Amino acid sequence: MSTKTPVIEVEHVNLGQNGHLVLEDISLTINEHEFHAIIGPNGGGKTTLLKVILGLIRPDSGTVRVMGGTPHEMRVHLGYVPQFRTFDFQFPISVQEMVISGRLGHLTSPFRRFSQEDTDAATEAMETMQITHLKDRPIHDISGGERQRAIIARALAGKPSVLLLDEPTVYVDSPTAVRFYDILSQLRETMTIVLVTHDISALSPDVTNISCVNCRLFTHHDNQITDDMIAGAYPCPVELIAHGVPHRVVPDHDNRVFGGRK
Ligand SMILES: Nc1ncnc2c1ncn2[C@@H]1O[C@H](COP(=O)(O)OP(=O)(O)OP(=O)(O)O)[C@@H](O)[C@H]1O
């Protein structure tokens, strides 16, 4: 029997923002080499949960362990791909300069220059994301899909053990998203992947685990989106995950839930 090694352990996390409870009693374990999707409606707390895991926001109560340590201690093992819109693409740097900036967490001093190891890691990350041909182009001069790949290459340059991505397919078309998910599936051989998205119609068939967040967390520790997860997390009809989408991971379901409730 294979043993699972937890890399992220969230226990009884509560967090309020501006007097509103955003995360309520969240407990979640993500094991090594999982491709874990965190889904949920807009404003449901997905990004906030990701930031708690990354140690960017402290919960009001509860604990977060990353590879047995605190998120702060283990920061160098976490690769973070924030939402696309948080990047300033007018910054006058090339794709290669952007990608190698993902090595900053590995510098032992802010005054140290990038080493050959840093350059090699950036080169490898650009190869993985298939953007080597763009390396000398200014980042303001490439397409949205290419920018998205550059952001992910930047995270990969840090050689993370866990890659956390926030809405990575929002600005890419369907064929690009499919290629992108193929790359993520390959990356899973060497790292754990945590992907946040509200767009459950575009989930990869290779996702191994799905958790649903809407203040509280609903999960079944596998890759099924079940009636009770949807009923718990989505306050309104969810036809968007329904029919005609290839590779869907929704099992037989109760029309009362999927047809529009509440
Ligand atoms: N810094 C903050 N101050 C006040 N409220 C906040 C802050 N950050 C998040 N919130 C609120 O917390 C809730 C959850 O936000 P969050 O961004 O985590 O949701 P999400 O599920 O990622 O949404 P989306 O799919 O729209 O990106 C929202 O109601 C949001 O307005």
Residue 19: enclosing H or E segment and its boundaries?
none
* pLDDT tens digits for range 109-150: 666 788 899 999 999 999 999 999 999 999 999 998 899 899
Q: Which residue has the higher pLDDT, 252 or 221?
A: 221
Pocket test for ligand 1, best of 15, 23, 46 (most atoms within 8 A of CB): 46
Q: Average of pLDDT values for 197-203?
A: 76
Q: Whose CA is nearest to atom 7 of ligand 1?
A: 17
Q: Whose CA is nearest to atom 2 of ligand 1?
A: 17
Ligand 1 proximity of 22 Cβ (cutoff 6 Å)? yes
Tokens of 159: 């050689």
- Residue 124 burial (CB count, 10 A): 16
Q: Where are the alpha helices (DSSP H) in 158-217?
A: 174-187
- Give the whole-number percent of the chain exceeding pLDDT 70: 82
Task: Quote the pTM value.
Answer: 0.84
Output the CA 102–ligand 1 centroid distance in Å: 25
Amino acid 150 reads A
Neighbouring-strand partners of residue 218: 212
- Residue 42 burial (CB count, 10 A): 7
Name the 3-class secondary structure at 153.
helix
Output the CA 134–ligand 1 centroid distance in Å: 34
Residue 50 has pLDDT above 90, yes or no: yes
Do 198 and 25 contact (CB within 8 A), yes or no?
no
In this structure, the chain runs to a length of 262
Neighbouring-strand partners of residue 234: none
Proportion of the chain in helix, strand, coil states, percent, rounded to 5: 35, 25, 40
Maximum average pLDDT range among 51-65, 89-103, 191-205? 51-65
Output the CA 37–ligand 1 centroid distance in Å: 18
* Domains annotated on the chain, with CATH: 1-9+42-198 (3.40.50.300), 202-262 (no CATH)
